[in-house]
């Protein structure tokens, strides 16, 4: 694995529980991919990449649980940075 300074960086944010959105992003990504085992698909991060996740994994989308499960399964070492923000109503 390359050092963090030399790694490629992928950004994913505003998933909102929409797994199809994630799949569409993956078609354009050189860092994230899906692997398949039967009918199961697993989100994977390539070894020479880091992921910055900008928040909003789930909301009212049909696949909120799947989105959370897949993102949590990626948590390996320091290759993922999680970014969170909270909005307050005024």
Separation CA 19–CA 82 (nearest Å)? 19
Does residue 87 fall inside a structural domain?
Answer: no
- Report if residue 20 sits inside a domain: yes
Domain hosting 18: range is 4-82
pLDDT tens for each residue of 23-82 = 999 999 999 999 999 989 999 999 889 888 888 888 888 999 999 999 888 876 556 665
**Residue 65 half-sphere exposure toward CB, CA atoms < 13 A:** 0
Q: Residue 73: what pLDDT? A: 86
Q: How many domains does the chain have?
A: 1
**Could you give the CA distance from residue 72 to residue 86 in angstroms, rounded to a whole number?**
20
């Amino acid at each position: 694995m390359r050092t963090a300074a030399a790694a490629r960086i992928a950004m994913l944010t505003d998933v909102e529980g929409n797994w199809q959105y994630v799949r569409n992003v993956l078609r354009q990504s050189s860092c994230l991919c899906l692997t398949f085992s039967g009918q199961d698909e697993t989100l994977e991060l390539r070894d020479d990449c880091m992921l910055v996740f900008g928040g909003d994994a789930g909301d009212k989308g049909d696949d909120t649980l799947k989105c959370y499960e897949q993102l949590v399964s990626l948590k390996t070492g320091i290759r993922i940075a999680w970014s969170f923000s909270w909005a307050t109503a005024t």
